[in-house]
Amino acid sequence: MSSGAVFLNTALLMLKEAAEYLNLDPGLHEILKRPKRTVIVSVPIKTDKGETKVFTGIRVQHSNARGPYKGGVRYYPSVDVEEVTALAMLMTWKCAVVDLPYGGAKGGVACDPKSLSKSELERVTRRYTSMIYDVIGPYIDIPGPDVYTDAQTMAWMVDTYSMLRGVFTPEVATGKPISLYGSLGRLDATSRGVVITAREFFKSVGKPLKDAKVAIQGFGNVGYNAAKILHDEYGAKIIAVSDSKGGIYNSEGLNPHKVIEHKNKTGSVVGFPGSKPLAADEVLTVKCDLLIPAALENAINKQVAERIDAAVIAEGANGPTTPDGDKVLQERKIAVVPDILSNAGGVTVSYLEWVQNLKRETWTIEEVHSKLEAKMVRGFKDVNERAKKYEVPMRQGAMILAVEKVAEAINYQGIWP
């Protein structure tokens, strides 16, 4: 079974559990199990050498019951329909949890971006955008960046869409460069959301984030920015970090600014002066107050969960915990702030960017941070209340809240024709 199929099974199991708690109508459950639309397209390009290469592009639109579809586009070799469907479903729940007027979508191209030149990546992006042009739009489906895509990718998407439409349409995508009406605060939005929800959890149990020991798996955009915010703004102690090549540990704390400098010079956090080496997955089992898995999905399986030594986990990645792993964490009473809440900062600031674009306004960083803070704090409060009401962990509380909101919207709309 592919990792995408495993991930989709996990997403469907989470939905099933929430449906049971809510005594959801079986017909509604069936609607929510399936994406509303799945688009698979051929993405041929001419390489720099003049050869023809053909990639597979996917866009899955899960639900638009609460608003236009919203979700990122990833470039990765293992991208498949199952993985993208699971991610689209998670986006539906994520938007509902923090009360954004969106439904969930996700897209991707099955390619190895590291083996493509910048001009080849541009061709892939423009071809993919042209192929899904009919099913995206400012009030239909708004893509954003994800794994191995960035502001440049979104700029190409916006330009391609605008050229085909004949009107400059920056609101068709989010996560754009600032000069193309991107939003301030977008780069570290996911990380800031993770930190805010972790802070709210610590508050709820009467503990400060100051001097808390933090371990972070993944030192890309989410992991690094979470480390920076925790270190600079809250005085937390970052004791362990990792990337795909390995990990490092220092019980006295690591300076994330110096670690990222080292990574930018050498290509990895490994070998950072004054640190002890760790295997990449060892970071997950370091004794700490806060663990942030910020790499890819399924990192915390049953075996890893049995060895985790953290007081709380705030999920920076999408789907980093398998069902077996989650069961072990529950048995061991290790609290988890789930991905559909903790990493919703990214889509929240994407929403704020979209609103600015629609109004043709530009907000200050203070305005963006203030609105993000309000959404994340409210989301945490609502999830915590559901978890207490149903006497379940926060993951189930978040799913119950999200499924309840989406199901209610579908109920009111009815099925037509």
**How far is residue 235's CA from residue 154's CA, in Å, rounded to a whole number?**
34
CA 43 remoteness from chain centre: 25
Task: Pull the structure tokens for residue 200.
Answer: 């709210």
228-to-45, 135, 203, 231 alpha-carbon distances in Å: 39, 38, 20, 5
Helices 365-390 and 189-204 cross at an angle (nearest 10°) of 50
Question: How do beta strands 335-337 and 310-314 pair?
Answer: parallel
Do residues 95 and 70 lie in contact, with contact meaning Cβ atoms separated by under 8 Å?
A: yes
What percent of the chain is helix, strand and coil (3-state, nearest 5)? 50, 20, 30
CA separation for the pair 198, 200 (Å, rounded):
5
Largest CA distance in the chain: 66
Distance of CA 390 to the CA centre of its chain: 26
Cα 416 off chain centre by: 32
DSSP letter string, 43-82: EEEE-TTS-EEEEEEEEEE---TTSSEEEEEEE-TT--HH
Active site residue 16: no
Peptide bond into 417 cis (omega under 30): yes
CA triple 416-86-156, angle to 5 deg: 90
Contact residues for 51 (Cβ-Cβ < 8 A; gap 6+): none
A 10 A CB-CB count for 47 gives: 13
Listed in sequence order, the DSSP H helices in 98-142 are: 118-131
Catalytic residue among 106, 237, 263, 405: 106
* 410 CB-contact burial (10 Å; exposed 0-12 / middle 13-18 / buried 19+): middle
Residue with tokens 């997950």: 284
Tokens representing residue 309 in the block? 């030594």
Q: Is 398 helix (H, G, I), strand (E, B) or coil?
A: helix
The encoded tokens of residue 279 equal 């295997």
The single-letter code of the amino acid at 306 is E
Q: Cite the active site residues.
A: 106
